[in-house]
């Protein structure tokens, strides 16, 4: 009987500079890109400057409480306005080169030693970047013709919208953050996240906590809510499956003993257990380099409580993550071989195959 041979992307799609350029222009800049938590920008003038696949942007909260995004470049001579990082501006966005200043809505409002009648200030506002939020998560989009964020999230293969009630997500705050540079293409990290055939060999500690993963599956049979049970009715993503931290609001009793996960195209992982939500942002830096930022989100009351200690959750999650990064880097090394043209997908690679089909459709449209 003939076998339906479903193949992976070509090897060069994971390391070719020309493919990475396509990824930037047709994927990362055209779709809603997860950029971090919006709750860090609470007051007028609060800003974050970040790199999105080689393009620097600034997101700032205006005096009208609206978040807006701009290319991080002055309209005068092209100077970068803000260094990477976050902070609070006083009154305006000010260029450090010639001191041109911009209102938080992007309007050019100050040009020292350049008279107002020398230039058309109204036409020299900052270049805009679309910004929107969902459940406290900040997304940016460079495209002039983009769909609403809510529509994009609803259309995901694994929509995260049903999970907003846990926490609720919009009320959670970051209690810990990790930043890791991984020598692998961003798509390799996505593919690895979307399958568990590797779990028994790579994650012995994980499969002891989540029995479904021991069978190489990411979906628990007989369930329609997307949850995967923790051994021993545990409520936390730790080595034991248990934690002294309280269960997040929004969980029904039978839900608190499960893990819920969603991949949000193109660069977000969302993992929720009874005691913590982990939001992971992939920042592609080049064809073979990705920076991974993980925010560990807890209820504000939990963070403020005496003795708050998320170390059990962080240590276990980062152990699993390091194991993933190691095998992803091995894949990155292997796909560069002249012998590797394409790999193949098994039945349990369904989510990875779905990602590649969406990726190709978006890249080639």
**Of 129, 164, 133, whose CA–CA distance to 146 is shortest?**
129
Model pLDDT for residues 336-361, shown as the tens digit of each residue? 999 999 999 999 999 999 999 999 99
Please give the model's pTM, rounded to 2 decimal places. Answer: 0.95
- Indicate the pLDDT class of residue 5, thresholds 50, 70 and 90: low
Residue 4 has pLDDT above 70, yes or no: no
CA distances in angstroms from 341 to 9, 66, 335, listed in the order given: 8, 48, 8
CATH 2.102.10.10-classified regions of the chain: 33-145
Both tokens assigned to 243: 């934690």
What digits encode the pLDDT tens for the residues 75-127? 999 999 999 999 999 999 999 999 999 999 999 999 999 998 999 999 999 99
Partners of 174 in the β-ladder: 297
Residue pair 109/75 in contact by the 8 Å Cβ criterion:
no
Looking at residue 283, the DSSP 8-state letter turns out to be: E
- 158-364 architecture in CATH? Alpha-Beta Complex (3.90)
User: Is-contact 258 226, C-beta < 8 A?
Assistant: no
Q: Which CATH architecture has domain 33-145?
A: 3-layer Sandwich (2.102)
Strand, coil or helix: 146 = coil
For CATH 3.90.380.10, the residue range(s) in the chain are 158-364
Answer yes or no: is pLDDT of 262 > 80. Answer: yes
DSSP state of 122: G
3-state secondary structure 175-225: EEEEEEEECCCHHHHHHHHCCCCCHHHHCHHHHHHCHHHHCCCCCCCCCCC
């Amino acid at each position: 009987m003939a076998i339906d041979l479903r193949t992976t992307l070509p090897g060069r799609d994971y390391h070719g500079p020309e493919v990475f350029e396509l990824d930037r222009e047709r994927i990362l800049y055209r779709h809603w890109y997860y950029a971090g938590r919006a709750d860090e920008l609470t007051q007028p003038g609060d800003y974050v400057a970040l790199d999105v696949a080689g393009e620097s942007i600034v997101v700032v909260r205006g005096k009208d409480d609206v978040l807006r995004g701009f290319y991080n470049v002055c309209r005068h001579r092209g100077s970068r306005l803000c260094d990477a990082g976050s902070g609070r501006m006083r009154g305006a966005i000010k260029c450090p080169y010639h001191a041109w200043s911009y209102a938080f809505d992007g309007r050019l409002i100050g040009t020292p030693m350049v008279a107002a009648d020398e230039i058309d200030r109204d036409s020299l506002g900052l270049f805009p970047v679309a910004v929107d939020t969902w459940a406290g998560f900040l997304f940016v989009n460079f495209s002039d013709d983009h769909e609403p964020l809510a529509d994009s999230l609803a259309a995901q293969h694994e929509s995260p919208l049903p999970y907003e009630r846990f926490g609720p997500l919009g009320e959670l705050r970051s209690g810990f953050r990790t930043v890791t540079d991984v020598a692998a293409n961003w798509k390799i990290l996505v593919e690895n996240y979307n399958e568990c055939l590797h779990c028994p060999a790579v994650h012995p500690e994980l499969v002891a906590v989540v029995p479904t993963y021991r069978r190489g599956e990411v979906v628990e049979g007989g369930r329609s809510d997307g949850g995967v049970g923790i051994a021993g009715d545990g409520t936390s993503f730790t080595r034991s499956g248990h934690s002294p931290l309280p269960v997040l609001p929004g969980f029904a009793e039978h839900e608190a003993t499960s893990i819920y996960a969603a991949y949000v195209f193109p660069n977000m992982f969302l993992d929720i257990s009874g005691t913590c939500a982990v939001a992971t942002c992939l920042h592609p830096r080049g064809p073979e380099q990705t920076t991974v930022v993980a925010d560990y989100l807890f209820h504000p009351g939990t963070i403020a409580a005496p003795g708050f200690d998320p170390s059990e959750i962080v240590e276990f999650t980062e152990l699993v993550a390091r194991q993933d990064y190691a095998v992803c880097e091995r894949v990155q090394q292997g796909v560069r071989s002249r012998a590797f043209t394409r790999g193949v997908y098994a039945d349990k690679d369904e989510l990875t195959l779905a990602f590649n089909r969406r990726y190709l459709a978006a890249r080639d449209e």
